[in-house]
Structures are given as structure tokens and as C-alpha cells.
Structure 1
Amino acid sequence: MSRLVIDPVTRVEGHLRVEVAVGNGYVTEAYASSTMWRGIETILEGRDPRDAWLFAQRICGVCTTVHALASVRAVEDAVGAVPPRNARLLREIIAAALSVHDHVVHFYHLQALDWIDPTAALKADPARTASLAQSVSDYPRSTATLFASVQARLGAFLASGNIGPFTNGYWGHPAYRLSPELNLLAFSHYLDALDFQREYVKVHALLGGKNPHPQTYVVGGMASPIDLASQDAINDNTLAELSRLLTRGLDFVEKVFLPDLYAIAAGYPEWTTYGRGLASYMVFGDYSQSPQPTGRPVRDGLFPGGVIRDGNLRSVEPFDPAGVAESVAHSWFRYDDAGDALAPWKGETTPDYTGPEPPFEQLDVAGKYSWLKAPRYDGIAVEVGPLARMLVGYAAGDARIRPLVQGALDRLRIPPAALMSTLGRVLSRGLETRLMAQYSLELLDRLRDNIAAGDLTIADAGKWDPSSWPDGQARGVGFHEAPRGSLSHWVVIENKRIRNYQAVVPTTWNASPRDAHGKPGAYEAALVGTPVADPHRPLEVLRTLHSFDPCMACAAHVYDADGRDIVEVRVQ
């Protein structure tokens, strides 16, 4: 039995180390370690709660606005602020657009190279590639001339020897099985996705002033004025441009993204049998049409909340916030309070590094080995993210999600349980992208209708003044179904200042180390059983890891208010 170390895992946000034991060509055990320290919660202590979202969204420059939304919802829950309808719609348009943008970028630029081999595209026939593309979609960029041009550009790029993100790729690996034509088609769309995401992200600039980190959230609503007659506010031109951008998003997803996913799924059917992992899933729920946020789970949202245990799709239990707790038994933190697991409102963020000085050969997996805590729900490890949302919606019989999922199952001729896999995780992200692209246009229509009815209110101004807040101590939680999964921010306010703040993020759930009972996190569980054809080129391990879309910057983020060096990186 051999032990493989992948450090750092590339094509992820942040720093991730994974160690796997391999026996008889398959992973027998796995350990995931975040190698960067979490610190934002400590920075927020003692600050004005109205400023929390500005700091919190700096947790990550990729996930960007999701932390702003969860943070402002947490403070609003604590102080009793209910944002008006326009504010909720503006926030949700921003969030839905982020999901579309994030999922497209993740697949094409962070994961696609696990499935496509650009070097194989050099052998493709551009005319046959065009015929293949035109058979699945009427996407206009599907001509033999265009594919010949892309192939020539790719050939010149690879021949230059200066190949940037393609350096050290596992090209020619036996696990690559797509035809040269499909490789060329997918690589062409890799390039198209670069142009698409640059244009589509203008949604955030229009509604938030910039991307990343939009600047228009406030406790009680939004700071974006609505005045159809003013050039300094959201007006008819803004709404028209939003419509154009969101429509383009839906078009790209339906004509490019989903056809590519189906083609890849058809080429790798065995990957519905790898990566099952925990088979327990959790969804908070989100995108409710009723006044939100509250500290209560969302029952009537686009994403229904719920928990599936042990792969049982016949039963979805309600999500209960009281079930969330974080363990540090194998994390480089300590709890001064009694007990190993703490609820987030009582959470502590005290670093306690017990490992050797980096670099080191092997993790101390019997002791502490990660800068991530281990969140658990009702004592069990759960997976969060697009797969969880699609499965919970499917099992709950949701009117939108069940037909969407069933259509994919019928097309691929697979049972629902096959989604509990590496390939199912990838496919679920694509299905969710289509759902969000469609829903973003519905949200825009609701915003237009609300404005047309004469409602221009964007904030609950009465709750901006701390004198209106509860006396003494107040606490709140903000839930959000972010692209990578269920995100929550928990705040305790005392004497109008933040006394405690905890962010429990999707990658912390999925990438967590083992807990006090030895239960692995979602990454660790999903890697077991993964085939490894070549231990020196563990492409298959990366496929399963990337299917989660790891974001270690969210899960363990670094901040030093004094500007001191925290880590030194040297090139040898």
C-alpha cells in the first residue's frame, strides 16, 4: 500500500493538502488538510454590527457577495430588521447571477481539464467537430472555420512551451477517454467561457458598484436608489441591460454548458459509481418570496431546506439550526469552553497549531491535522452544495427541481442514486446553473412589476439606528445557499457591538477533518474507492476533489490587521 501526498491541490481557491492511501489501485483512506489559518471572526469582535458585512465578504474574492449577504442577514435577524421587497429582489438577483457566473467559471476553468485533454484536440477534424457541435445545440460559434482557428491557436500555444495553466498537466493519462473532436469542442468553449464570464459579471457592477465585493448592502436593505428618471439610480436603462445580460447567461448555459456536461457524462459513465462519500446531505433553504431573512429555516424557497440521511431519498427531514455544531478534535484550534463541539453562537476561534514546521512529509492524522473545524449536523457529517440541493429538491418533490433532475436522469438513463457520485456532483452543478439562470430573469420581472406598482422603497431605515435595537444581548443567524453549499453567519451583539462572530461555510462542511468520533468529512469519504491508474499522476483523485469546487479561502481565511507577514513562500 502506498501513500500519496498532493500539496497543494491546484485549480482550487486557497490552499488544500490531501493525503490518500492507495491499495490495489484504489484509494482506501483519505485525509484533507487546509494549510491556511482562519481569522476573520476574531477581527470582527468589538466592531459595529452594521460594518460586519464589509469585513465578512473579504473572506473570499471568488465567493465575494455570498458572505456579505449571509452577514447582513445575520445582523438583521439579531436586530429585527426586515428589508423591503425591492431590497430582497436586488440581493437575490445579485446572488443568482453569482451562482451562474461561479458555476460556469468553476467547470470550465477549474475542473474541465480533469475530463478533457487539450493535447488530444490537436488530432481533431474541425469539420467533424462542427458537425458534433451543431448536432446538440444551435450555438452560433460552431463552424469548422472557427474550430480550425482554435486548433491552430492551441497548437501554437502548446508549441511555445510557455503554457501557463496547462503546465504539468497529466496529458495523455489513460483516464482521458473523450474523442479528439469532443476535446476540441470543449476547449473552444473553455475559451468562450472566459469571454462570457467577463461580460456577465457586469450584473454585479450595475447593482453593486463593482465586482468582487459589491458595496451596496446595508442593514435593513440596499443602498441602490431606484428612480426610473435618474441617471444616478436604477432606471429603465439599468433594467434593460440587466435583462440582456441575464438572458445571455441563460442562453450560454442552455446552448454550451449543459450540452458539454451531457457529452462528458456520456463519455465517462463509470464515474457515477465513484465518489459517493457520505450520502447524507443538508440544505438550509433559500430564495423565499416571503420577507426574509429570519433565523428560521426557509420552507417556501426556490431551494427547499431539508436533510437526507444515508442516501434515503424517500425521506427528507426538516433542517433545524439547533443541530449545527463544530468539533475541533482534529483541528488546529482549541476550545477553552468545556466540550469538543460548540454551537456557532458559542463558537471560539483560538488557534492551536500542534504540527511540525512546514514543509513536512506526512500529516499527524491521529492528532490535529487541519486549519478547518469539523461542522456536524445532529452529530453526523453531511455534504452540502449543488448535489445536496438537487437531491433534497428531488426527494421532496419540488415542482421545479424534480422535473429538472428527472429529465437529466432520463437522458442519461441512470437511477437517482447514481447522482450520489463524482459525476453526479458535476451534473448537479450544471442543472442548478440552468435553474438559477432562469430564476434570475423571474426575479428581474418581479422587480420591474414592483417598481411599476409604485414601490421605490429599498431599505428599512428605522433599524439603521442602534437605538432601535434590542437592549442587552441579541443574536442572529444569516443563512444562504451559496454556490458551493449551505453558508451561515452567526452573530452575538452585546451593547450594540459584536461580542462573538462565527462563519460556518460550505467548504468547511465538505473539507472538514475527522471529528471526535473519527467520522470523516465529505472530501475524505468521497475519495475512498476512487481508482488510481498511475500513482505519479493521480488525475482521478483530482476529479473527485474538484467536483466539490473547493474554496479554502472561505473555509480558512487569513487576516492580520497590523500588516505582519503570516507566511513566507519561497521558490526553490
Structure 2
Amino acid sequence: MTQRVVVDPITRIEGHLRIEAETSADGSITSAYSSGTMVRGIELILNGRDPREAWAFAQRICGVCTLVHGIASVRAVENALNYPIPPNAQLIRNLMIAAQYVHDHVMHFYHLHALDWVDVVSALKADPAATSALAQSISSWPKSSPGYFADVQKKIKTFVEGGQLGIFANGFWGNPGFKLPPEANLMAVAHYLEALAWQREVVQIHTIFGGKNPHPNFAVGGSPSPISVNPGASGGVSGTALNMAGLDQIKSVIAKMQTFVDQVYVPDTLAIASYYKDWFTRGEGVGNFMTYGDFPENGMSDPSTWLIPAGVILNRDLSTVHPIDMNSPDEIQEFVSHSYYDYSGGKAKGLHPYVGETNLHYTGPKPPYEQLDVEKDYSWLKSPRWKGNVVEVGPLARVLMLYAKGHEPTKALADMALKQLDLPLTAMFSTMGRTAARTLESKIVADQMSVWYANLVANIKAGDMAVHSEAKWDPSTWPAGAKGVGFMEAPRGALAHWVVINNGKIANYQAVVPSTWNAGPRDPDGKPGPYEAALMDNHQLFDPKQPLEIQRTIHSFDPCIACAVHVTDPDGAELVQITVT
């Protein structure tokens, strides 16, 4: 007997996401379908606008991993106009992107994904003294006394006894899938709460360089914030110019980021992963991985200076990295065979983003509905492909690419983690491997921030204070027609914006985002997207009313967490509803 399990929404961040899974009699997932249930449409808004202001609109595609669409947009215009930016602007952008990485990854782990592994209610059974001993055995983090954990336990008890779990109300507490001992659960909940306070400081880097967070300011041609040689704090850390007060604050924030990653995030990930080693054997999916590359030190035109290299890994083969041509019409294409869009040439043919179309055509069921007709259109996401291949993007792809390219810090860190867990490198191709990769990447990027910061300060001390070039700011210097692609590695994966400019205005604009690569539906050949394929890789639901297994794998891609979960049976009757109030 087969059953259709529906999880909707599994996330309410970056657009609503619906997962439908078909299971066999023993609960094994045999088919899975990922449906984006909200249309974006930013591309249509940008047509006809001045390309220099596109970033301000495009950045509003997402407020969670903020700034990434702004960066991709300004890079697209700069690429189209062959518009170089000053070295200081490049360093400032690197620091801002890196801060987003570390902030986003830590927030995802503790607040959007950890509760797939951590049983909050179980923490009430923990011995605070034993929890302290556990914490001190894996880290030198100072907040680890028995009294500290006893206080955290009291807070949890207040939630539970009051019948108001609040932020913890949407978990499947008591599910047999939870394997952590009570002490590990208490330690993780304590760090969950600490991360809430920590993240408020990290975003200061965006406010100092970009004026605000979310959605800091950018500028085509460089950075919008001038550098002041005034040693005083007339601008402080909240003025319009970057001075020593702001630089000192940034240095302090970087140090706090590195400490939290080293002493909390990395030890917690390894400790939790050690109890879920079976999750290193499921959830891989397609086995193909792609990165566009990012963190340039000599401009986007010099890939040899990028921290994260570009390329494609096929069939797990780390010995061969295939190059990417972002401009080739035969490489990156988007298909709409199962999407709520039409192409003028028909739904079966893929289009390169330069000639991409955004023709909305909803053919799905009229809400409210019970199940999707997956033989027809079933998602507002398109299906991107690289040379016809389904590829996964994100932290796992980046860590694998760095490892394949012989990046020594990555190899040393990954080998250390795998040795501690007594696992082979192939274990990274999995749900838990995806989660671990995000942690390893956070340390790699956080450590590199000190280098970029030192280079920026050295440039300023040497008298170089340029952060913006006006060389091609005036539209009269532009060609009548131009096109370009701006790409970056967003926290969730490879992101690119393609722009076509005619007579100083945007003629076509297409954004292919990480969630499109990972969460897209089946293509004309019937090949499932990464989310869909991962769920069909060795997943068995213990209880369809508590689809913890689905949440773990989908959340490992970081689509963000559900505020409410609805699960229905094949007849559409609601089995369980969990809402946050």
C-alpha cells in the first residue's frame, strides 16, 4: 500500500515550499516532489530600469541571506560594462559576504536545523553537572558551568510546564529518531539561545560598510562608503564614512565570530553528528556538484585569486573538475516542463538566462487543494541544468570543490572531522555531510576574514583610500548594447544574475538562485531535482504523522525551517498540524 505524505509548508522563508512524498508499505520513500508555491517575478519589475539601481530591487528577493542579490546584481552590470572596481571595494565586499556566510550558517544550524536533531523536552532530564562535563570535554567555551546549564534548564522547564513552548513549539519531541542523550540536548539548547545574542553583533559589519542590515547599500563601480583618515570618532561606527572607529569595531566582531565558530559551532556539530552517523549514509541524491566561485582578491576576471574555485564535479569524481562557461548558451539552461511558466518556443526546450523568459502561467489546482498532479506542472520554480545535468549547489559543493582543488586548510579541516567521526570522505555525500560541510566552511571563511581585514588596513595605511571608480558611471560612456553576468557563492549556493542592457536601460534580467538549482522540479527527461533525489535516497519514515526524516534532509540544504507543518493522508484529511503561536 502506497501513501502520499504532504509537508506544506516545510519552509516559509525565501518563499513557500511544499514537499510531497510517496511511501511504500514499510514507509520507504519511493518518489518525492518539490513544489515552490510562491512566484517571485522580480525580473519583470526590473525591465526598463536603470541598471545602476537594479541591485536595490534585486536585493529584496531575499531578506534572510541579505546582500547576496545586491552583490550579484552590481557584478552583472560591472561585467556588462567591463567596469573594474578598486581593490579596497573588493576587500570590503569580501568581508561583507563572509560575514553573511558565518551569520547565516550559524543561524541555520542552531535556529533552523538543529531542532531536527535536538530534543528540547529531553533536556529537562539532563544532569547540569554532567552537561558541564560534556561541554568542557569538547571545548574551552567559558559558558559551561553546572550553574549555567541549570539556569538554562529552568528556562526550558518554564516553557514546558506553562504549556507554551513558544519558539520550540513546532518540534516532534519524543520521536524515536532523536538519539542525543539529555545532556547533549541541554548543551545544544543553551547554545541555541546564545547564538540569538551572538548574531546581533555579527551584522554590525554590514551596518558599518553598508549603512544598515538587512539590505545594506551597494554601488556599481565599488563600495558606497568612503574611507576617512580622521582618527577620531566623528563618524563613529554609525557615520557615513569608514574610519578607525569602524575598522576597530569590525576587527572586534571578526574575532568574536571566529571564537564562536571555533569553540561552539564546530564542537557542537561534531558532537551531534557522532550520534547520527547513520545519516552519513542517506540523502545524497544526484552526486553532481557545482560552484561558480567567489571571494576574488584581484577582481572577478582573475579566477586564480578566488578563494572558492569554480567548476562542476560529476558522479562524485573529485579527480576531475569540469570548467563552466557562464555565457555559453549550451551550458546553463532553465527548463519549465513541470513549472508554472510558458516559453514562446514551447515548454520542452531549455533557455539560457540571457534569452530567458518569465511568462507566468499557473495551471495547478485551485487552492485549497489536497495533492498536486505531478504528471503536469507543479512548481513555481524552474529546473536549471548544466549541460543537461542535475547539480547540487551550496556548502557541500564548495567544500568538495576546495578539497578537489587541494586547498590545504579545507583538506586538513575535513580530514580532522572525518577522523574524529571515524568516517571516510565519501560520507560527506549525505544529509549529515551537507550539514557538516556548512560548519567546516564557516571556519574556513571566518579565518580568511582576518587576512582580508589586514589587507584593507594595510592599503589604507599606504594611502590607498579609493573605494569607488567613476570611470563608467556616466551612461554616455556605455555602448548601445551590452550584456553581462554577475555571479557569487551565496550561503545557500551558486547564484547568478544575467542582464541585457539596451540604450542605457535593462532589456532583460534573469536571476537563477541556489534554491532553484536545488529545489527545482523534474525536467523534460523526468530527472528529479536535488531535493527530490535526496529524499529518494535511503529514507524510511518511522511515523508519517511526524515526517522528521523529510525535514532533516530538506533542511540540510538550508531552505530555512517551517513555521507550521501540515501533513495530510491520501484522501486529504489532516493528520497533524503544528503551529507556532
Alignment TM-score, normalising by the size of structure 1: 0.94
Q: Which residue of 1 aligns with 2:428?
A: 419
Taking the aligned partners of 1:552 and 1:412, their CA distance within structure 2 comes to 27
Give the SS at the match of 2:400.
helix
- Report % sequence identity: 52
Give the SS at the match of 1:546.
helix
Q: Which residue of 1 aligns with 2:570?
A: none
Q: 2:525 aligns with which of 517, 521, 528?
A: 517
Taking the aligned partners of 1:480 and 1:77, their CA distance within structure 2 comes to 13
Render the CA deviation track for 1:79-133: whole Å, top value 9, x for unaligned: 1111100111111110000000000001100001000001000000000000110
Q: 2:507 aligns with which of 490, 499, 507?
A: 499
Q: Which residue of 1 aligns with 2:323?
A: 318
Render the CA deviation track for 1:288-313: whole Å, top value 9, x for unaligned: 21122x4x8x3431111111111112
State the shift of 1:403 in Å: 2.0
Q: 2:171 aligns with which of 166, 169, 174?
A: 169
Q: Please tell me whether residue 59 in structure 1 is matched to residue 68 in structure 2.
A: no
Render the CA deviation track for 1:335-371: whole Å, top value 9, x for unaligned: 1135521000000011010011112111111110000
Asked whether the 8 Å contact 1:325–1:344 carries over to 2, the reply is yes
Q: Please tell me whether residue 223 in structure 1 is matched to residue 224 in structure 2.
A: yes
Structure 1 residues 177 and 552 mapped into 2: Cα distance closer, same or farther (>3 Å)?
closer
Taking the aligned partners of 1:278 and 1:478, their CA distance within structure 2 comes to 26
Q: Please tell me whether residue 14 in structure 1 is matched to residue 6 in structure 2.
A: no
Render the CA deviation track for 1:452-485: whole Å, top value 9, x for unaligned: 1110111111211111112x21000001011000
Q: Which runs of 4+ in 1 moved over 3 A?
A: 10-13
Q: Which residue of 2 aligns with 1:198?
A: 200
Q: Which residue of 2 aligns with 1:84?
A: 86
Q: Which residue of 1 aligns with 2:476?
A: 467
Taking the aligned partners of 1:364 and 1:382, their CA distance within structure 2 comes to 25
Letter in 2 for 1:239: L
Asked whether the 8 Å contact 2:108–2:560 carries over to 1, the reply is no
Taking the aligned partners of 1:276 and 1:536, their CA distance within structure 2 comes to 24
Q: Which residue of 1 aligns with 2:337?
A: 329
Q: Please tell me whether residue 236 in structure 1 is matched to residue 244 in structure 2.
A: yes
Structure 1 residues 552 and 424 mapped into 2: Cα distance closer, same or farther (>3 Å)?
closer
Give the SS at the match of 2:250.
helix
Q: Please tell me whether residue 113 in structure 1 is matched to residue 122 in structure 2.
A: no
Mind listing any 5+ residue stretches in structure 2 that lack a counterpart? 236-240, 563-579
Asked whether the 8 Å contact 2:63–2:214 carries over to 1, the reply is yes
- Map 1:87-486 to 2 at 5 A: 87-215=89-217, 217-229=218-230, 231-232=234-235, 233-292=241-300, 294=301, 298-321=303-326, 322=328, 323-337=331-345, 340-470=349-479, 472-486=480-494
Q: Which moved more, 1:63-72 or 1:313-322?
A: 313-322
Mind listing any 5+ residue stretches in structure 1 that lack a counterpart? 554-570
Q: How many residues align?
A: 549
Taking the aligned partners of 2:170 and 2:214, their CA distance within structure 1 comes to 30
Letter in 1 for 2:289: Y
Taking the aligned partners of 1:552 and 1:158, their CA distance within structure 2 comes to 21
Taking the aligned partners of 1:13 and 1:46, their CA distance within structure 2 comes to 25
Taking the aligned partners of 2:23 and 2:400, their CA distance within structure 1 comes to 30
Structure 1 residues 302 and 12 mapped into 2: Cα distance closer, same or farther (>3 Å)?
same
Give the SS at the match of 1:498.
strand
Taking the aligned partners of 1:166 and 1:288, their CA distance within structure 2 comes to 40
Asked whether the 8 Å contact 1:34–1:552 carries over to 2, the reply is no
Render the CA deviation track for 1:414-464: whole Å, top value 9, x for unaligned: 111110000000000000011111111211111001111110111111211
Give the SS at the match of 1:431.
helix
Structure 1 residues 337 and 552 mapped into 2: Cα distance closer, same or farther (>3 Å)?
farther
Letter in 1 for 2:249: E
State the shift of 1:34 in Å: 0.5
Q: Which residue of 2 aligns with 1:561?
A: none
State the shift of 1:201 in Å: 1.1
Asked whether the 8 Å contact 1:11–1:111 carries over to 2, the reply is no
Structure 1 residues 101 and 168 mapped into 2: Cα distance closer, same or farther (>3 Å)?
closer
Taking the aligned partners of 1:409 and 1:99, their CA distance within structure 2 comes to 22
Give the SS at the match of 2:494.
strand
Asked whether the 8 Å contact 2:48–2:507 carries over to 1, the reply is yes
Taking the aligned partners of 1:383 and 1:343, their CA distance within structure 2 comes to 18
Asked whether the 8 Å contact 1:29–1:524 carries over to 2, the reply is yes
Taking the aligned partners of 1:260 and 1:11, their CA distance within structure 2 comes to 26
Taking the aligned partners of 1:86 and 1:5, their CA distance within structure 2 comes to 49
Letter in 1 for 2:544: P
Taking the aligned partners of 1:400 and 1:285, their CA distance within structure 2 comes to 17
State the shift of 1:46 in Å: 0.1
State the shift of 1:243 in Å: 0.5
Taking the aligned partners of 1:43 and 1:519, their CA distance within structure 2 comes to 31
Give the SS at the match of 2:484.
strand
Taking the aligned partners of 1:143 and 1:13, their CA distance within structure 2 comes to 38
Asked whether the 8 Å contact 1:507–1:552 carries over to 2, the reply is no
Aligned-pair Cα RMSD in Å: 1.5
Asked whether the 8 Å contact 2:94–2:296 carries over to 1, the reply is no
Taking the aligned partners of 2:166 and 2:344, their CA distance within structure 1 comes to 46
Structure 1 residues 48 and 13 mapped into 2: Cα distance closer, same or farther (>3 Å)?
closer
Asked whether the 8 Å contact 2:122–2:182 carries over to 1, the reply is yes
Taking the aligned partners of 1:370 and 1:546, their CA distance within structure 2 comes to 19
Letter in 2 for 1:219: V
Asked whether the 8 Å contact 2:10–2:561 carries over to 1, the reply is no
Give the SS at the match of 2:30.
strand
State the shift of 1:319 in Å: 2.1
Render the CA deviation track for 1:27-84: whole Å, top value 9, x for unaligned: 1110000100121000000000000000000001111100000000000001111110
Taking the aligned partners of 1:75 and 1:158, their CA distance within structure 2 comes to 53
Q: Which residue of 2 aligns with 1:559?
A: none
Letter in 1 for 2:503: N
Taking the aligned partners of 1:46 and 1:27, their CA distance within structure 2 comes to 46
Letter in 1 for 2:252: R
Render the CA deviation track for 1:529-552: whole Å, top value 9, x for unaligned: 212111110101100000000169
Render the CA deviation track for 1:269-323: whole Å, top value 9, x for unaligned: 100001010010001111121122x4x8x34311111111111122211222221
Taking the aligned partners of 1:551 and 1:497, their CA distance within structure 2 comes to 35
Taking the aligned partners of 1:9 and 1:171, their CA distance within structure 2 comes to 17
